[in-house]
Amino acid sequence: MPHIEMEDGVEVFVRDVGEGDPIVFLHGWPLNHRMFEYQFNHLLDDGFRCIGIDLRGYGKSDKPYGDYSYDQFADDVKGVLEALDIERTTLAGFSMGGGTATHYMSRHDEAYVDKLALLAAASPVITEKPDFPEGLTESEVNPLIEGARTDRAKMNADFSELLFHTDQSEEMLHWIWHLGMEAAGQATVASAETWRDADLRPDLDDITVPTRVYHGVHDEITPIEITGEVLAEGIENAELVRFQNSGHGVTADETERLNEELADFAGQ
């Protein structure tokens, strides 16, 4: 079932391949499930079942004009897991997908999920709040949103270059750009406003499953000091795994190590 219909009629694209213990991947902004290509390749060979979801507005999913809140994304994840009827899942969320994952765990009582993997997660808070002055300022984030409104092609090119700490080929950067351009413009803007403004700290108290927080120490988009370390401290059963040679794009900066860490964790 490459597409699964949600309660509001929106069809969400799902790639479901392999057998064995399932790992469900939630992509980051403004990409889609294909960003995990090099995780799928390794984990399928290791005997896992890999399930990639294109969040609404992205990739091959429907792109309605409307709600791109964490509530909506979490409800869509619930709809997919319910339709697939799988148990003991490892839920792996990257960046905005990490925010979706932590919110899902609270909003839907950890349904179907046995383990949680957070990859450079945009959670629980990105921008500063009265009681969280460590966050980024809105003036640091807003140029991405304004760029998505006025010149999304250039914004995606600039964003692609921000992702990585290690050198990546021009072809890799162009591929990342292409994934971003597959998203709907309104979804790109609206969901960026979601992760900019969200405060998911209350959700952390509801997460009880074993959790791994994988985060690059050179991350400039979701700095480890305001996201990864906060997640590890706020989730009772969490462990922070630092990637010393990674920026935000840990999936490509340290692909082999990340794949080994995910296989070890999901296979426990």
Tens-place pLDDT, residues 254-268:
999 999 999 999 998
Q: 46, 219, 246, 253: which is the annotated catalytic residue?
A: 219
Identify which of 144, 145, 125, 81 has the alpha carbon closest to the alpha carbon of residue 226.
Answer: 125
Provide the 3-class DSSP secondary structure of residue 59: coil
Mean pLDDT of 214-222: 97
Q: What confidence category does residue 87 fall into, taking pLDDT thresholds of 50, 70 and 90? A: confident
Would you list the DSSP string of 78-140?
A: HHHHHHHT--SEEEEEETHHHHHHHHHHHHTTTTTEEEEEEES---SB-B-BTTBTTSBPHHH
pLDDT in tens, 137-190: 999 999 999 999 999 999 999 999 999 999 999 999 999 999 999 999 999 999
Q: What is the pTM of this model?
A: 0.98
Measured at the CA of 236, the angle between CA 118 and CA 106, to 5 degrees, comes to 65
Catalytic residue among 95, 123, 191, 246: 95
Residue found under tokens 């952390």: 204
Residue 4 bridge partners (DSSP): 12
Give yes or no: 33 in active site: no
3 included as an active-site residue: no
How buried is residue 169: exposed, middle or buried, by Cβ count under 10 Å (0-12/13-18/19+)? exposed
Could you state, in order of their start, the residue ranges of all structural domains in the chain?
A: 3-266
For 3-266, CATH number?
Answer: 3.40.50.1820
Annotated catalytic, 42? no
Tell me which of 54, 191, 248, 253 is the catalytic residue. 248
Residue 1 confidence (pLDDT): 58
